[in-house]
Each structure stands twice: as C-alpha cells, then as structure tokens.
Amino acid sequence: MKILVINPNASAAMTGEIERAAREVASSGTQIIAVNPADGPESIEGHYDDVYAAVGVLECIRRHEGEGIDAYLIACGNDPALAAAREMVRAPVLGIGEAAMHVATMLGGHFSVITTLARTNVQLEDNVLRYGMSHACRSVRDVSLPVLGLEGDEAYGKMRDVIVDAIENDAAETIVLACAGMAAMAKRLSEELSIPVIDGVQGGVRLLEALVGLGAATTKIRSFAPPGAKTYRGAFAYAAPGARPANE
Amino acid sequence: MKILVINPNASAAMTGEIERAAREVASSGTQIIAVNPADGPESIEGHYDDVYAAVGVLECIRRHEGEGIDAYLIACGNDPALAAAREMVRAPVLGIGEAAMHVATMLGGHFSVITTLARTNVQLEDNVLRYGMSHACRSVRDVSLPVLGLEGDEAYGKMRDVIVDAIENDAAETIVLACAGMAAMAKRLSEELSIPVIDGVQGGVRLLEALVGLGAATTKIRSFAPPGAKTYRGAFAYAAPGARPANE
Amino acid sequence: MKILVINPNASAAMTGEIERAAREVASSGTQIIAVNPADGPESIEGHYDDVYAAVGVLECIRRHEGEGIDAYLIACGNDPALAAAREMVRAPVLGIGEAAMHVATMLGGHFSVITTLARTNVQLEDNVLRYGMSHACRSVRDVSLPVLGLEGDEAYGKMRDVIVDAIENDAAETIVLACAGMAAMAKRLSEELSIPVIDGVQGGVRLLEALVGLGAATTKIRSFAPPGAKTYRGAFAYAAPGARPANE
Amino acid sequence: MKILVINPNASAAMTGEIERAAREVASSGTQIIAVNPADGPESIEGHYDDVYAAVGVLECIRRHEGEGIDAYLIACGNDPALAAAREMVRAPVLGIGEAAMHVATMLGGHFSVITTLARTNVQLEDNVLRYGMSHACRSVRDVSLPVLGLEGDEAYGKMRDVIVDAIENDAAETIVLACAGMAAMAKRLSEELSIPVIDGVQGGVRLLEALVGLGAATTKIRSFAPPGAKTYRGAFAYAAPGARPANE
Amino acid sequence: MKILVINPNASAAMTGEIERAAREVASSGTQIIAVNPADGPESIEGHYDDVYAAVGVLECIRRHEGEGIDAYLIACGNDPALAAAREMVRAPVLGIGEAAMHVATMLGGHFSVITTLARTNVQLEDNVLRYGMSHACRSVRDVSLPVLGLEGDEAYGKMRDVIVDAIENDAAETIVLACAGMAAMAKRLSEELSIPVIDGVQGGVRLLEALVGLGAATTKIRSFAPPGAKTYRGAFAYAAPGARPANE
Amino acid sequence: MKILVINPNASAAMTGEIERAAREVASSGTQIIAVNPADGPESIEGHYDDVYAAVGVLECIRRHEGEGIDAYLIACGNDPALAAAREMVRAPVLGIGEAAMHVATMLGGHFSVITTLARTNVQLEDNVLRYGMSHACRSVRDVSLPVLGLEGDEAYGKMRDVIVDAIENDAAETIVLACAGMAAMAKRLSEELSIPVIDGVQGGVRLLEALVGLGAATTKIRSFAPPGAKTYRGAFAYAAPGARPANE
C-alpha cells in the first residue's frame, strides 16, 4: 500500500520530519512517500498561506498520478485543499487535523486542540464546527510559537504548560496537536502528562491504512464527484480537469 | 493483535456472521475472537433490550480478562455499554454505529443511517447528536424489518429501496448501516448503487487495528477513569470494581 | 395516586433519605413507595455503575407490576434506564436529573448543574445536550465528593462554595442538583444563597403528580412502543418481553 | 392555591373556554381565576398583535396584585410577555406554549407543534430554538385557520389531518397544541389518534401546581430581578416600577 | 431618503444623542428623523421595560405614516418590537443590536457584546442565538452601569476595562455595543484599543441606506405578512390593523 | 469610493455582466472596478475550481495595490479566498454569498439558497453553518445548470420552478442567489414571484458602501492580522508577505 504524505508547505526539512513520524507507525506493507510542493510558503500560519499551499497540495497529487497511490494524507493541521483533493481522486484522503480529531473522539474523551499562533485559532474553531466536533472540543489553545519554532526544550516546555492548563481549566481529556511540526513531541508529552496526545500525521497514516484495508473510496455522489471538464486559462491551464479525473 | 468482537445479543448464529464479516477484513496479524453473552436478548431493538445487552457486553469483557485483548468492538449499531466498557478497560473500544459514522465522514460525504425498525430511529438520532454528526447526517431511515429478518432477497430489496430513497430525497452521499445483521449486504449494495455503504463491523475492526497500531489507549482522565472500588450487592456482587481496573 | 420512587443503587439508607425527601413534598393523596434493587452498586458514579443499576431499575418496576403504580421516578441524577422504563410502562416516568432541569428552566433562569465526582461531568453534559438544555445550562460543576460522602458540614460547605463560584463566574441563575444524595441540602442552600436550588427528587414527585393529573401517558408511537416479544436467554430469560407490556 | 390564568387577548368568550379547560384539570385545592385584558386584540396571530397583548398580560397581573396569587399562566401559544411577567413577580409564571413543550418531552417523544395560521410558524420555531427544543421538535405545522375559527367539525377535521400528516411524514410521537383555542379538541384528538396531544392550558395549570407545591419561585438573580425603579412617561406613567416589585 | 430613527425610550435627551450619532454617518441624500414615544420608560433595562417600549415603537411608526419613510431603525440594543414593525411596514426595518452584529461579522472577526446591566445579558444572549450569531459571539459582558449613566470619564473607563478583558480573556476580535447610549464612545474606544467597536445606530443607518439603495423590502410572505384585519378593544382600539398595512 | 469587484473566474464575459449588475446599484460617488484573474478556471463549480480561483482573487487584489481601493467584493457565491483577502487588506471585504445571506436576514425572513449544480450544495451548506445561518436557512437547492448555462428562458424557467418549490415546500420567505451568473434574473424573479430575491453582487456593493461610509475596517486582532513575513518558494515567491501588508 502506498500512502502519499503531502507536506503542504515548501520546507523540505519539515517534510523529512513528517516522513520520519509517518514511517514510525506505518505497517510493514505500507510505503510512505513524503513530498512537498516546490512552490509556496515555507510554513502555514493563516488563510493567506493556505491559498498558496492548497495549490501545492493538488500539484503533489498530480505529480504522482499513475503511480498507484492508495491513499493521501495532507500533513497540515488546518487541512488545506482537503475537499478539493477528495474531488480529484477516488482513493481516501485525510487531513491531519481531521484525522487527529477522529482519533481523539475514538479514545473516548473531550479534547483540546493545541495550535501554533493565536491567529490560527479561529481557523481551527471553524473546522471543529464543520467536522461536528463542537460538543467534543473543550478549547482551541495556541502556544504562541510559529510553525518553524516548534523545536527544543523551551518549545516543549510551552507545549506542556498549555496542555496542563487545558487539562486543569478546560477539562480536556485528550489532546489534539494541530501542527505537523509538533509530531515529534507527542509521545513524550503523552507519557509525561498521562493523557493521550494525538498527532495527526501518525493518526492519519493508520486511519488511511484502515480505509484502504476496507476497500473504501471517497464518495463520488454529488459533493465530491470528479471536477467537470472545463477550460482553465493562463498559468493554470495545465490544471484544467479533463473528462476523467486524475486517478481513475 | 487480538480484537474481542462482542455481539451484544445472545444469538450464536449472528455471532457467526459477525465473525465472518470481521475476519474478511482483518489484517493477517489480527486475531478475531467473536463472542456473545450467555444471558440476554436474542436481538436488540430498543432501549429495554439494551439494558440487558449492556450487562452481557461487560460480562464478555470480564470473561476474557487476562487474555491480552488489544481492542474491543461492540457489534450492535446503537453501541450498548460503550462508555462503560471504556471505563472498564484501557485498550481502545469502539461500537459499530460510532465506527461506521467515523468511516463515512472520512470518505467525505453526508450520510444517511439505515436501521431496522422505526422504534430504533430516535435512539440512533440521539447518538448522531452526541457523536457530533448532526451536520453530517442527512437522515435516519428504517427498513421496517427486525434484526433477525435481515436475510434473503426481499430484505435486500427493501434495503436497496430505502437507500435509493435516501440518495434521491435526502441527498445522502454515503450510507451507514446501523445493524450488524446488515454486514453481509454492504458490499453488494455498495456496488449496485455506486455509493459507499459502510458496515461498522468491518469498519470497526480496521479502525481498532489503526488505534492499536498507534499505541493509543482510552483516555483515563476524568470521564473514563477506571470505576472506583465499591460494594455491589446480590446477584451483581461479582461485578464490584476492585482497586484496579480489569485489564491493567 | 401511587408513585414508585426507585433509588437505582442498592443502598437502603439512601433509599430512606430519598423517601423522606419525596414525602416532604408529595400531595396528600399521593402515596410514595420508595424502593431499591437488591442487586447492584451501592452508589452510582459513572457509566460502569450505570449498567448494573439500569437492570435494577427495571427489576423494581417489574416487582411492583400489577400494584397500580401511576408514575415512576428514577432517583439518580444521570437518569439510568429512563428510556427503557418508558418502553416498559405506559405510566409517566421521569429521572431526577431531567426533572430538575425542567423545573429550573420553568423558573426562568440559566442553570448550573452540581454533581459529585468530576468523572460524572461528561455524562451530565451529554444529558444536557440530549435534553436540549445546552443553551440554558451555564456549566456542570463537581464538588469532588462521592455519592456516599454528601453529608455533614464539610460537604455542605463544599456545595456552597461550588454554587457561589457558579453564580459569580458562570452567571448561574438557578442551581440543579444532580444527585439524590444532595436532596437534604437543597432548601438550606437555596435560602442561604437566595437562588433556587432544585432537587430532582422533590421536583420529580411534583411533576409526576402533574402528569398523572393530566391523564398523560408516555407516548407509545415509535420510540417508546412496548418492547416486542422475543426470546431472552440464560439468567435474563425472566425478563423476556411477552406479547403485552408490563403495566397494561 | 390561586392561579391567575391570563388570556392575553380581549375575547371574553375565549377566556370562558380557557377557564373551563383549566378547571377541568385543576386539583381540588386550586382556585382558577381566568381573566383577559380590557384593551387589545381579540385574537393573537403574529408579532404585531403580540405587542399590544403583552401590555394586557402585565395589566392583568397588576390588577390582581395583593390578592395572593400563587402562580400565573399566560394562555397564548407564543407566550407573550412571559419574560416580563417573570421580572414582575416572584411567583412562578408559565406560558402555555412553553408548558406544552415541557409536558411533551416528559412523555418521552419527539413532538410536532400545531399552530393556527402559517404566519405564526416562525414565531413558534424561534421559541422552540430559545427553549432548547430544537432536537425534540419534529416540525411546526399550521392548520390554516385563524384563532377564532377553531371550532366545529371542519376545524376538527383539519386538525386531525395535519396531525396525521405530522405522525406519518415528520415522525411526530407527541403533539403540542400551540393555541389556547385548541384546548377543547385535545382529548378527542388524543383518543382518536392514539398519540399524546398536549394542550398547554391544562398542562400549564398542573405544572404550576407542581411548582407551587415545591415552594419554587422564579429566580431573582440577574435576568429576572425585579425591574429597577424609574420614570415612565405619559399614558404608561402608571406602570413605572417602584422600589419594590409588585407581589412582594 | 428618509430614515425614521426611533429611540424606544421616552428620554428626549437620549433621542438627541442618537440623532447626532445617526447624522454623523448619514449620506448627504439621507434625511434622519429621530423620534421617541411620548409614553413609556425613560430607559430600557429588561423585559418589563421592553413591553411598554414596544408599544411606543409602533406608535412612532404610525405617527409618521404617510410621510414617505424609506426605512426604520429601532435604536435600542435588544431590538424591541423589531418583528412587529416588520409586519407593519414594507420598508426595511433594523434594530441596532442586530445591525451591529451584522457589521461586526462583516468585518471578519468574532465579537463580544458590551451591555449595560447584568440583568440584560440573557436577553442579548437570546438574540445572539436567534440571529444565528452563537458561533461568532465570544461573550456578552456588562459594564454594571445603567443606560442613563453612560457618560463621563468613569463610564468610559469602565467600558474600556471591560473591552480589554473581552479581548484578552474571551478572544474578542470585534466589539458590539448593545446600547444606543454608548454610541458617543465608539470611535474613541476603537482608536484607543485598535479594535473595531461597532455602534448599531451608525451601523444601522448605513445598512438601511444600503437596503433602500437595493430597492429591497421586508419579505411579506408568511411570517411578516401585514397583520390581518381584526377588532382591537379599549385603549388599543386605535391600533386595530385594517385591511391594508400602514405604509402601502 | 472605489470598490474592486473581483470575478474569481477567468471569464471576461461574466466579469462584464457582474460589472453591469454592480454599477446598476452603486451610488453616484462609487467607482466600480470589475476585474478577473488572467489565470484559472472559466467557471467555479466545486472545491477543485476554488483552489485555483482563490489564487486569482489574491492576485487581483495585489494587482490593484496602491490604487486606493476602499473595499473588495468577491463575486462568486461560495466566497473563495474570503478569509485570506481579509488577512491581506485592511479595507472591508465581502463575498457575494455571505453578502446575500446578510441582506436576506435583514429583510426579516427565512431564506432558501439557489445554487447551480448539485455538487455545490454541500459547500454552501458548510458556509451557511459557518456564517451562523443554519436557523435562518430553509434549504439549499440547485437548478442543475452549470454557471455558464444560466442564460435564456429555459434557465429562467428552471430558476422560477425551483424557487416556487422552495416557497411551497421549504417555507422559504426570501431567496438567496448563490451565483453571480444569476444576478441578471434577480429582479424579474422577485417581481414575478412577489418574494425578495437577493443577488449578492448588488447586495455586496451596497453593503460595502455602508461599511466604508462607517469608516469600518477589517479587524486586525488575531485571526485577520496581516500575514507574517516569510519565505515563499518557486513560482509563488512573488506572493511572500513582507513586513507590512499590501494596502497599508
């Protein structure tokens, strides 16, 4: 089974970390192909970055067309281009934000989401609402650190403090990490604080294996039917959907 | 990996079917142990049946204590004793109703739930609400057949008609089957109607494999902490929680 | 009018207290019959306890079949077996958690729920959601005391402190007590803090008198139709529903 | 116990009917005082009528100040002046729309609301939302008859047809009548259709008896504190709240 | 274009301030006619005051019938008589509470509402719910000052402190002022705190200009159809709706 | 006042129509600058098209930087790049889907949304949810016509039929058109069917005039703060946000 793990930002270093996290939990028969777009932001912290990252996500999918990809994981916590990717392919697609919330609810508790900068909170709150997680979500909390600053002891300490605060003051029973850059800290946080701390990269890989194992495919009725054939102009002419969608 | 698949009703024939469905999708390293309680209703169609089935579910868990069970699946669409089981054990626990809804939303669409008798609709609607699936759920529809009448061509025809109705009139994009007795029809329905038809037995087995693969455990903070030690009287004295929970 | 007040736990001492509370408000023509199951937990603090208590509730109903019971009150704040009891009988059935919330909203204000241990909060939050009380409910707060530790000045002090906190910080305008063991403190708390403090045992008795006075019966269309006749096996064979429900 | 039943419209004939319905269910110790304002609309069918009826409701309360009224019932389905009345007095106040919805949910089912003209549907839907009944309410349906046209066989036939439609197509399990003018038909409809049909006049009387029996009073913290003393000008100068609220 | 700006309370001084605020933003072609009722409360702080103010609002509309009013603004933060006014006229009608919330959401952020006395919070929370603003509204906060005490440096200081608190602790990104008496402070607060502070008087005037410019009229299908002709009795006989609504 | 009206698709013909609609309602002092991206899809019917159109929207904003644009309108019914544009500029930004829903609710009624192809319904339903319009929205209905097929009598007839259906069966009281291509039909539909039919192009222009007239700006606290400076790679390097946002 081949899973294309797409880091939507253009930071190869971060792609490397994501790949490491993904491989750590992948089953023996699963091949992880971690990629990132050549074009776009080096980190994603808001809606503006999202717009350019979304194009990158779709380009990664297109680039690997015809390679027999069985499932796609979008490795950014606010799940850029998730719905568009579902239109584009028949294979299952997950975003790591969505994946981590599913895992958290399956472990039984009410969760808090930990994100990077305060500017991203509302974006995640909107996703919580659209994903039907409002009742399950205790709070969305930021650590006031940028995506590329999520390493080292000081960052770990901030993460721990915010999580402890969420447990004590928001009654969080599970923690959802909303940034792929936090993946490396999940295990240590979980053990130190005795609470499930869910990273969506690892969660997403395993959930996709589950969906592929079921022979499940993205629904193609109505909302996620393949994009209809039409003209695209100028620099995006190459992206015009043909009569048949990419991976069929 | 050992998954205890618990049919909450006392029908051994149905346990056999559930076991077949579970094994069909289980990974090679997964051992499916399908069981049912000795005591309780032969089918579950409402809250009254649920009360007795719930005791049976917990008894099945207790009976297999110390056998190294890695995950538990409660194979009845309204997920009896799900929260209690999560208190009782540390390993992940899913109900098939919940599992099927998670799979359906991960395939991208808005779903309709297909249940047996009209008397069970509200029970499922309540679960849809509690699971945060209200926005994703188009409708809950019954086929007016009892659990034990879900076999043969006539039953299949009724299932198909109700699903077509849900697609056309409720704009369903994915279908959730809310009864383990419907598992055998999922694939045929899915192929005939070109829509994902999700059976929670198979979905649940694969999701549990995913959770176990992640090393994930049910949260033990607050809501799902092990039951505190206390006296149980009379016929249920055996069930009194001790100082330590069953599977630790 | 005969009201069967069912203490779902097996503590006779607590049944005595509940009976006292119920009689204190019952109208002159109302006969209070307070009972508890012979089998099951001595206190109810979570979903695991609930499973066994639920069987006990139904047994109490069955035991008094044919005695002309006019209404049933389930005297535990998370309302175990409420829906099942409604299937079983035609007479009105209330749980004290539900009853107290109805009374609180009829007194006009937004309420906070006071419960025992933190582990029970989510269970009550789920009920708040299902009962449609999310907009009316300011918060669910626990006093960190077990059910059987709700007596004495220290317990009273903790109750008072938590309620004051809910008034000041959560803008509570009414208080719902979510445990029958708190009934004896309701009046004193209400007077000391000048806020309605609603105990569901007393509230439930009066609401049931109202329903019986109206000639109202539990709806028997769809969800709460009598359980269909079917085989129950083993230790629960006695509970198999026959062709006609218990109290018709 | 004295219950002031206020018909918010100025139709004495309708007040008579309401009185009859109220007395039919009142307990022996309960005195029903049915009144209507001298000023205002003869029937209430929309927000415009509501504005003038609301003044009438408060005038009725003021007129009976000092007579030891124990509880107040506002006998119009959209509950005009309900919150204002709760500010004005300490005794419990219910509207019949609200009361009927509480009774319906206590009987266990999901209800449809039956109203008069289509123009009143949204008003009731807003109340359903504010009262937290959205999950419990299947639909709001009108019979296309004005308040003063709710008598005779043809009206009864229309009521029955709409209710049957709600049962079959909206899965209603209980029926809420949203107009005091429908009270006389409740019993016949309930018996003919084998479904609880709840009239809020009778429901409200009994619920108020319950609240008074509990010694319960409207909360006076925050929202429903007595109106502060202030100047009222012109024709409404008489209504200026003094230092102390009306019924203390 | 003529906009009738109705101060629902009987304080001419406050009407003057409202007029000043309205004229400050009105376009050159817009004529502001600011009025208040002769009868009713001098300030509005709760539901009781609302009942009398509502009559005043409708009287103001009636008084200016036939003068070619193009739009109506109800200048009290809890929008008294808003729905009734919409039945009465065909021209657009806004309340300042509603208007300010629309402006706030169009500026992109999640808002906190600032109100006068704590007793008015729930009224505003109810409006937030009915207007669909629950997800967008961070909190409703009061400054513990009466409507007529909203002047001077101390009042300004209290306003500022509460807003800073809402920004820091409730994550407010925009501020909605819920009282016309706060209009004069909006600009200064906005500049000092670098956050949009929305006053509904000014917001409402501009939104109404927009609606009139579109040729838009209040919908007359169902809910807001003109009040049907009927008899009104006594002191309100003058208000009986005729066969045709006021401004047609 | 300069309003940049951005047609997110690359069809110049459609931009012309949008410009015509916008100018028809713009105030005399308002300059409409209608543009479309050079790159991207010729019509937008789903999430895939959205991804490329979003880049185009931001490019149009950048292209007109420094021209003193006072407000921005995104003229596509599902509001692509709306949040990103709000980060990018300080001037107010509206999408026509959002604008039309605001206008509809200000006219007092519950609305149905009319869209093009069924594949776009869920996208609009998601926006309805995020915009807080769930209670106000009766239904989302498609006419089964592509964006570029919305001309001629047959298209008009389909529009009319779907709207009539929404009025009669969904109780719609106002109609929201969710595609800029429907603008030309709004007036005729509104007159023929005697119901407000809201086109967001015209609605958006007027609402933006209102916001600019108020001196209102997009909130820059938290969610919509200017994008932080960072490296963008490859083809999108030009889009890297600098230290200061575009229009300051």
D121 contact residues in E (CB cutoff 8 A)? 222-223
User: Domain D97-201 classified CATH 3.40.50.2300?
Assistant: no
Please provide residue C115's backbone torsions phi and psi, each rounded to the nearest 5 degrees: -120, -175
Flag if D171 and B129 touch (Cβ within 8 Å): no
Q: Using a CB–CB cutoff of 8 Å, tell me whether B171 touches chain F.
A: yes
Q: Mean pLDDT over residues E130-145, rounded?
A: 95
pLDDT of D165 over the 60 cut:
yes
SS3 B241: coil
CA distance F25 to F33: 14
Flag if B196 and A173 touch (Cβ within 8 Å): no
CA distances from C127 to C78, D111, F130 (A): 7, 19, 25
Instruction: State the pLDDT confidence band at D246, using cuts at 50, 70 and 90.
Output: very low
Flag if E171 and A121 touch (Cβ within 8 Å): yes
Instruction: State the pLDDT confidence band at D244, using cuts at 50, 70 and 90.
Output: very low
Q: Using a CB–CB cutoff of 8 Å, tell me whether C144 touches chain D.
A: no
Q: What is the pLDDT of residue F155?
A: 96
Size of the B and F interface in Cβ pairs below 8 Å: 6
Element (H, E) at F141: strand F137-142
CA distance A37 to A58: 9
Q: What angle is formed at CA F132 by the lines to CA B131 and CA F74, rounded to 5 degrees?
A: 125
User: Which of D72, D163, D194, D214 is best to mutate for the C interface (most C CBs within 10 A)?
Assistant: D214
ipTM: 0.96
Q: What is the pLDDT of residue B246?
A: 38
C52 contact residues in B (CB cutoff 8 A)? 55, 232, 236, 239
- How close, in Å, is residue D153 to chain F by CA atoms? 27
Nearest CB to D222: which of C132, C171, C207? C171
End-to-end CA distance of chain F: 17
Q: What is the pLDDT of residue D206?
A: 98
CA distance D206 to D5: 12
Instruction: State the pLDDT confidence band at A248, using cuts at 50, 70 and 90.
Output: very low
Flag if F109 and E25 touch (Cβ within 8 Å): no
Flag if F47 and A225 touch (Cβ within 8 Å): no
Asked if chain F contacts chain A via 3 or more Cβ pairs within 8 Å, the reply is: yes
Flag if D129 and F110 touch (Cβ within 8 Å): no
CA distance E217 to E211: 8
The answer to whether B210 and A209 are in contact (CB under 8 A) is yes
Report percent pLDDT > 70 for chain D: 98
Amino acid letter for position B27: S
Amino acid letter for position B105: T
CATH of domain B2-96+203-239: 3.40.50.12500
* Residue-wise pLDDT tens digits, F82-137: 999 999 999 999 999 999 999 999 999 899 999 999 999 999 999 999 999 999 99
Nearest CB to F107: which of E102, E196, E216? E216
Q: What is the pLDDT of residue C137?
A: 96
Q: What is the pLDDT of residue D198?
A: 98
Flag if D51 and E223 touch (Cβ within 8 Å): no
Q: What is the pLDDT of residue F50?
A: 97
Q: Backbone dihedral region of C222: left (phi > 0), alpha (psi from -120 to 50 degrees) or beta?
A: left
Q: Using a CB–CB cutoff of 8 Å, tell me whether A135 touches chain C.
A: yes
Q: pLDDT averaged over chain E?
A: 95
Q: What is the pLDDT of residue D168?
A: 96
* A51 or E151, greater pLDDT: A51
Instruction: State the pLDDT confidence band at E248, using cuts at 50, 70 and 90.
Output: very low
**Strand-strand pairing, A40-41 and F232-233:** antiparallel
CA distance E159 to D42: 45
- How close, in Å, is residue E217 to chain F by CA atoms? 6
CA distance E147 to D246: 23
CA distance F40 to F57: 10
User: Which of A105, A112, A135, A137 is best to mutate for the C interface (most C CBs within 10 A)?
Assistant: A135
Q: Using a CB–CB cutoff of 8 Å, tell me whether A129 touches chain E.
A: yes
User: Which of F47, F121, F122 is best to mutate for the B interface (most B CBs within 10 A)?
Assistant: F122
Q: pLDDT averaged over chain C?
A: 95
Q: Using a CB–CB cutoff of 8 Å, tell me whether C164 touches chain D.
A: no
D129 contact residues in F (CB cutoff 8 A)? 135
Flag if B232 and C41 touch (Cβ within 8 Å): yes
Closest CA to B122 of C235, E1, D170: D170
Closest CA to C46 of C166, C152, C179: C179
Flag if C110 and E122 touch (Cβ within 8 Å): yes
SS3 C109: coil
Count of CB atoms situated within 10 Å of the CB of D110: 24
Flag if C233 and B45 touch (Cβ within 8 Å): no
CA distance F107 to E216: 8
For the domain made up of B97-200, give the CATH fold: Rossmann fold (3.40.50)
Q: Using a CB–CB cutoff of 8 Å, tell me whether D121 touches chain F.
A: yes
- Half-sphere exposure of residue B193, counting CA atoms within 13 Å on the CB side? 28
Q: What is the pLDDT of residue C199?
A: 97
CA distance D28 to D207: 15
SS3 F6: strand
- CATH topology identical between A2-95+203-239 and A97-200: yes
**Strand-strand pairing, E174-177 and A137-142:** unpaired
Neighbour order of strands in the sheet with B197-199: B137-142, B111-115, B174-177, B197-199
Size of the B and D interface in Cβ pairs below 8 Å: 6
Q: What is the pLDDT of residue C245?
A: 41
Q: What is the pLDDT of residue F19?
A: 98
Size of the A and C interface in Cβ pairs below 8 Å: 6
Report percent pLDDT > 90 for chain E: 96
CA distance A90 to B195: 12
User: Which string of DSSP letters, residue by residue, matches A39-85?
Assistant: SEESS--SHHHHHHHHHHHHHHHHHTTTS---EEEE-STT-TTHHHH
Q: Which CATH class is domain E2-95+203-239?
A: alpha beta
pLDDT of C134 over the 60 cut:
yes
Q: What is the pLDDT of residue D248?
A: 37
End-to-end CA distance of chain D: 17
CA distances from A243 to A59, A70, A226, A231 (A): 18, 22, 9, 11
Q: Name which of B235-244, C1-10, F96-105, F135-144 the model is least confident about.
A: B235-244
Flag if F129 and B135 touch (Cβ within 8 Å): yes
Neighbour order of strands in the sheet with C197-199: C137-142, C111-115, C174-177, C197-199
D110 contact residues in B (CB cutoff 8 A)? 122
CA distances from A182 to A185, E116, F55 (A): 6, 44, 28
- Spell out the residues 6+ positions from residue B48 whose beta carbon is closer than 8 angstroms to its own: C58, C84, C87, C88, C227, C241
| SS3 of chain F: helix, strand, coil, percent, to 5 | 50, 15, 35
Asked if chain B contacts chain F via 3 or more Cβ pairs within 8 Å, the reply is: yes
Flag if C122 and A110 touch (Cβ within 8 Å): yes
Residue C102, both tokens: 């109805």
Element (H, E) at B35: strand B31-35
* Residue-wise pLDDT tens digits, D32-54: 999 999 999 999 999 999 999 99
The answer to whether E174 and E195 are in contact (CB under 8 A) is yes
Q: What is the pLDDT of residue D245?
A: 41
Residue E83, both tokens: 């729905």
Residue E88, both tokens: 């009465």
User: Which of A50, A52, A78 is best to mutate for the F interface (most F CBs within 10 A)?
Assistant: A52
pLDDT of F245 over the 90 cut:
no
Q: What is the pLDDT of residue F109?
A: 85
Instruction: State the pLDDT confidence band at C109, using cuts at 50, 70 and 90.
Output: confident
User: Which of E9, E42, E47, E123 is best to mutate for the D interface (most D CBs within 10 A)?
Assistant: E47
Q: What is the pLDDT of residue B242?
A: 82
The strand pairing partners of B2, in sequence order, are B31
- How close, in Å, is residue B80 to chain F by CA atoms? 31
CA distances from C117 to A150, B243, C145, C175 (A): 37, 17, 6, 17
Nearest CB to D135: which of B118, B121, B129? B129
User: Which of C135, C168, C169 is best to mutate for the E interface (most E CBs within 10 A)?
Assistant: C135
B195 contact residues in A (CB cutoff 8 A)? 219, 221
E122 contact residues in C (CB cutoff 8 A)? 109-110, 173
User: Which string of DSSP letters, residue by residue, matches chain E?
Assistant: -EEEEE-SSS-HHHHHHHHHHHHHH--TTPEEEEE--SSEESS--SHHHHHHHHHHHHHHHHHTTTS---EEEE-STT-TTHHHHHHH-SS-EEEHHHHHHHHHHHTTS-EEEEESSGGGHHHHHHHHHHTT-TTTEEEEEE-S--GGG--HHHHHHHHHHHHHHHHHHS--SEEEE--GGGGGGHHHHHHHHTS-EEEHHHHHHHHHHHHHHTT-----SGGGSPPPP--EEGGGGGG---SS-TT-
Q: For chain F, which residues make up each domain, given as ranges?
A: 2-95+203-239, 97-200
pLDDT of E173 over the 90 cut:
yes
* Residue-wise pLDDT tens digits, B71-104: 999 999 999 999 999 999 999 999 999 999 999 9
Please provide residue C40's backbone torsions phi and psi, each rounded to the nearest 5 degrees: 130, -175
Asked if chain A contacts chain D via 3 or more Cβ pairs within 8 Å, the reply is: no
The answer to whether F115 and F43 are in contact (CB under 8 A) is no
Nearest CB to A42: which of F50, F225, F231? F231
* Residue-wise pLDDT tens digits, C200-212: 999 999 999 999 9
Instruction: State the pLDDT confidence band at A247, using cuts at 50, 70 and 90.
Output: very low
pLDDT of D236 over the 70 cut:
yes
**Strand-strand pairing, F174-177 and F111-115:** parallel
Q: Using a CB–CB cutoff of 8 Å, tell me whether C240 touches chain B.
A: yes
Q: Using a CB–CB cutoff of 8 Å, tell me whether C194 touches chain D.
A: yes
Q: pLDDT averaged over chain D?
A: 95
pLDDT of A6 over the 60 cut:
yes
Q: Name which of B182-191, D224-233, E235-244, F228-237 the model is least confident about.
A: E235-244
Q: Mean pLDDT over residues B147-173, rounded?
A: 96
Report B:27-86 residues touching F (Cβ under 8 A): none
